Amino acid sequence: MSGLALIGSLLGRAGRAFWNSVAWTAQSWRIILVSFVVGDVLLITDHEAAGIAVLLLVPVWNTVRAIWEAVSPLTYEAALGGPLRRRAWRRRVRKEWGRVAERCGLAWPWENDKRQRFPQLLKVRTSGNTLTLRVRAVVGQTVDDLVDAAEAIATAFDAESVDSRRIGPGVVEIVLTMRELLHEPSTPPFPDEIETEAVTLGRRSDGSPWRLELAGRHTLVVGRSGAGKGSIFWGIAGNLSPAASAGLVRLWGIDLKGGVEVAVGARMFSSVAMDERAALELLNSLHRVIGERQAAMRGRTRQFEPSEGDPAHVLLIDELAVLTGYASRDVVNEATTLLKRILTQGRALGVMVVAFVQDPRKETVGMRELFTQTIALRLASTSETRMVLGDGYGDLAPAHRIDRTMPGVGYVVRNDGEVERVRADYWPDDVLRLVAGTYPAPVDPGADEEPDEPETDVDEQVGELVSIVAPPPDRQRSPRAPREPEDPEAA
């Protein structure tokens, strides 16, 4: 760091400490008044040291807090700032609940009385950056009334976002995210654990890790261009790469956009298809794996467990609509048939599909209902949100309201129906190349050896691929001998 940058950083921290000290002291005016009274009494009774200490207690304490926050914000947040903030949230809710409930349309009049009843606030608790309210509806109200008012309650308490769920008869839990932790992008740690059933893709809105279950599930990721689908694509491939290198997972990839996405980390994959014919060959190969595994498991077990030599198979398809909607008619028909068979038969056999698409309409994703879990990144409209997540989630998981400046942010509906707001980590190209070089997919001993061919531009960029499903090269024809001119007299 240069001298000017260091001086600027120190001045900025000093200014922030001064401002926080003044602001916190002004907010403590009630305590200051009490300390002035007590301090004056002590001074009058000739207890000068104690009186001065009481008078200076609040300003000195706030100054120490401000300096601590400026010098080490992480330790301050964990030890003092976070607990104080959460305590203030709880106090505000308990103090203002009646007024907020009335303004949000939850007040219920007594019979023959001007008094009003409000939903009962059963419990208030805080954790991290979330504030959770457990509320019981009064007689005459329904759970839907409380759920419909959740957005207004969040606005009244200055929350960034809100989730609500029914937990019992007439009881609703409203989770307010008071501080947004997903604004800033993050990069993942270098993968070093062998994982086959779930991967950590990023973080939830409360700051906790976001784990995506893969075993026994097919996943559909939907988002507009620039919504961050690549972060999830490489989050899955990158975190599975140690298991793939160890022979417990085999990664298959289809990228019909010329291989632009998959080429950077192609060495993680055992098989990659970059055009229509290669994609069909890859799907046929994966379908044969399902058939062989069915024969091996029939009568022995119903649940597959990956092992060395018998890995789990994960197929990643970048832009599914290119394969199932925009390709030639023959390719679309055959690819759709193969994918439907893989989706319906492969889940219990250790064959999982993760597909990415921009347009969630039935015309482009005809097998949408065969995916067992869906992730909604930034979408264009409420109707698209309902297409992706289901009816009723247009307001609970407003993917169409995600800001364009927050790629990787999306909504996930868990198995219990709860909605999670998440953000996937961003994988830079340099990290992908490093991971691919560290954990290359093993060479398949059963693969047929191909004759040596000159390297292509893609090979020069990403190195030698382990196994690329590609169309056979066109056979070169020998030139014909020139025909002799016809003799007019012989004719």
Question: Three-state SS string across 20-78, please?
Answer: HHHHHHHHCHHHHHHHHHHHHHHHHCCCHHHHHHHHHHHHHHHHHHHHHHHHCHHHHHH
Looking up tokens 């014909």 gives 480
Is residue 28 annotated as involved in ligand binding? no
Instruction: Answer left, alpha or beta for residue 166, where phi above 0 means left and psi between -120 and 50 means alpha.
Output: beta
Q: Write the DSSP symbol of residue 79.
A: I
Q: Write the DSSP symbol of residue 211.
A: E
Phi, psi of 428, rounded to the nearest 5 degrees: -65, 160
Q: What is the DSSP string of 104-139?
A: TT--EEPTTSS-EE--EEEEEEEETTEEEEEEEPPT
**Contact assessment for residue 117 and residue 108, using Cβ atoms and an 8 Å cutoff:** yes
CA angle 212, 213, 217 (to 5 degrees): 125
Is residue 350 annotated as involved in ligand binding? no
Is residue 228 annotated as involved in ligand binding? yes
Looking up tokens 């025909």 gives 483
CA distance 267 to 431: 13
**Contact assessment for residue 146 and residue 106, using Cβ atoms and an 8 Å cutoff:** yes
Is residue 223 annotated as involved in ligand binding? yes
CA distance 53 to 39: 8
Is residue 202 annotated as involved in ligand binding? no
Is residue 408 annotated as involved in ligand binding? no
CA distance 69 to 63: 10
Helix (H) / strand (E) containing 233:
helix 229-245
Is residue 105 annotated as involved in ligand binding? no
Looking up tokens 């009843």 gives 117
Is residue 168 annotated as involved in ligand binding? no
Q: Which residue ranges make up the annotated binding site?
A: 223-230
Residue ranges at the known binding site for ATP: 223-230
